[in-house]
Amino acid sequence: MTRAIASFVLALSLLGAPQAFAQGEELPQAHAPVVVVELFTSQSCPACPDADVFAAELQTRSDVIVLSWPVNIWDYLGWEDTLASPENTRRQAQYNGRFGLRWPYTPEIILDGRTHLAGNQREEVLGLIEEIREDSWVQVPMRMRLDEDQLVVNVGMASDEMVDTLGTVWLIPYRTHMNVEIGGGPNGGRELSYTNVAEGHEPISQWSGTSVIVRHRLNPTPGDAPDGYVVLLQKHRNGPIIGAARLQLSWNGANAE
């Protein structure tokens, strides 16, 4: 698949902080279908480190968008996950409710919001990614860019097969890479690495099948801006993902990391 990259440099004023610049890499372009891989992981899950490594490998592919969602379902095992949030745990629960699962599990990978499987089943995951990519007609074109302190998201039209579809546009800030030293529980004493760690998600628009341009003002805390943003278009609120785009940022100046 051809990888198209648009790079641009923009001055971004963050709450009055001077000389903060962001270079954005837009991936993918509107015409390039991708598969969204959501990994629900836990620092107290013995099987999760292998899945976390697998997520880092998948992120190198231009046809995949990876998001890691740390959850707190195993905190009672002696270590509270330092990256987890109740919001992440609710997202997993909403997915599993749709799938008819009675209990959550980790590592759980959800592909395009359509199916789930264990995150350490490498060959099965790779095979399903290829199958889902073949259904490229479900992809609604999406792209985003920075315009000063606003994120501009362009959402395309529904295909004929999706004429009655309603959807929600979710904005997800993320951290590209995070290392955590685990002080207790089943993984105590290890340093674990995480890829594209989601830092919350918020609905920024509804979508009814017609083209829409969404402008969303960004107000990151000075010195603590995310490494990038993912936008997802999901049927209704937590249904199958029918469109996605990612904007990777490189910060320089007063707010550089």
What region does 100 belong to: left with phi over 0, alpha with psi -120 to 50, or beta?
left
| Helix, strand, coil tally for the chain in percent (to 5) | 20, 40, 40
> Is 232 domain-assigned?
yes
CATH number at residue 120: 2.60.40.730
3-state secondary structure at position 118: strand
Element (H, E) at 133: helix 122-133
Q: What is the pLDDT of residues 21-42, one digit of tens each?
A: 344 444 444 456 789 999 999 9
Is pLDDT of 63 > 70?
Answer: yes
For the whole model, what pTM was predicted? Answer: 0.85
Host domain of residue 83: 30-248
What is the pLDDT averaged over residues 138-153? 89
Residues of the chain with pLDDT > 90, as a percent, come to 68
Mode of pairing for the β-strands spanning 212-217 and 202-207: unpaired
Query: 76-90: string of b/e by CB count within 10 Å (b at 16+)?
Result: ebebebebbbeebbe
Answer yes or no: is pLDDT of 156 > 60.
yes
Domain membership flag for residue 220: yes
Residue 253 covered by a domain: no
CA atoms within 13 A of residue 48's CA, in its CB half-sphere = 29
- On whether residue 10 sits in a domain, the answer given is no
- For residue 221, count other CB atoms closer than 10 A to its CB: 10
215 found inside a domain: yes
Q: Evaluate if residue 165 carries a pLDDT over 80.
A: no
Alpha-carbon distance of 163 to 176, in angstroms, equals 35
Is residue 11 one of the residues assigned to a domain?
Answer: no
**Could you give the CA distance from residue 172 to residue 141 in angstroms, rounded to a whole number?**
18
Our count of domains for the chain comes to 1
Any domain includes 170: yes
Please tell me the predicted confidence (pLDDT) of residue 148.
84
Residues 142-156, mean pLDDT to the nearest whole number: 92
Q: For a pLDDT cut of 70, what percent of the chain falls above it? A: 80
Residue 21 has a pLDDT of 34
Is the Cα dihedral 106, 107, 110, 115 positive or negative?
A: negative
pLDDT tens-digit map of 74-107? 999 999 999 999 999 999 999 999 999 999 999 9
- What average pLDDT does this structure show over 191-217? 95
Q: Is 120 within a domain?
A: yes
Calculate the average pLDDT of the chain. 84
